[in-house]
A = this chain, B = another copy of it.
Amino acid sequence: MAKIALFRTGRRVCYGAVEGSQIVEIQGDIFGKFRLTSRRHELSEVKLLAPTSPRTCIGGPGINYRSHVEFASKMTGRPVKVPALPTPWRKGENCFIGPEEAIVIPKNSTGDVHFEGELVVVIGKQCRHATEANAMQFVFGYTCGNDVSEREWQRTDFNFWRAKGSDTFAPVGPWIATDVDPNNLELEVRLNGKVMQKANTSELIHGIPIIIQTVSQAITLLPGDLIFTGTPGTTEAMKPGDIVEVELSGIGVLRNPVVAET
Q: Determine if A88 is an interface residue (Cβ-Cβ < 8 Å).
A: yes
Q: Determine if A62 is an interface residue (Cβ-Cβ < 8 Å).
A: yes
Question: What string of 1s and 0s marks CB contacts (under 8 Å) between A86-99 and chain B?
Answer: 01111011100000
Q: Determine if A240 is an interface residue (Cβ-Cβ < 8 Å).
A: no
A-B contact pairs, 20 of them (CB 8 A): A55-B93, A55-B94, A56-B92, A56-B94, A58-B161, A87-B157, A87-B158, A87-B159, A88-B162, A89-B158, A89-B161, A90-B92, A90-B161, A106-B217, A108-B217, A159-B160, A162-B219, A165-B218, A167-B219, A167-B220
Cβ-defined partner of A106 (8 Å) among B56, B157, B162, B218: B218
**Interfacial chain B residues near A219, Cβ < 8 Å:** 92, 94, 161-162, 165-167
Q: Determine if A79 is an interface residue (Cβ-Cβ < 8 Å).
A: no
Q: Determine if A83 is an interface residue (Cβ-Cβ < 8 Å).
A: yes
**Interfacial chain B residues near A88, Cβ < 8 Å:** 161-162
Beyond A108-B217, A128-B167, A161-B218, 11 extra complex contacts between A and B, CB < 8 Å: A56-B93, A62-B158, A88-B161, A88-B162, A90-B90, A90-B92, A90-B161, A92-B219, A159-B160, A161-B219, A165-B218
Give the distance in Å from the alpha carbon of A77 to the alpha carbon of B157 in the complex.
20
Instruction: Determine chain A's interface SS by DSSP, over half rule.
Output: loop
Question: What string of 1s and 0s marks CB contacts (under 8 Å) between A199-232 and chain B?
Answer: 0000000000000000001111000000000000
**Interfacial chain B residues near A108, Cβ < 8 Å:** 217
Cβ-defined partner of A165 (8 Å) among B90, B128, B166, B167: B90
- Give, as a whole number of angstroms, the nearest-CB distance from A152 to chain B: 13
Whose C-beta in chain B lies nearest to the C-beta of A217? B108
Give the distance in Å from the alpha carbon of A174 to the alpha carbon of B159 in the complex.
30
**Interfacial chain B residues near A58, Cβ < 8 Å:** 161
**Interfacial chain B residues near A92, Cβ < 8 Å:** 55-56, 90, 219
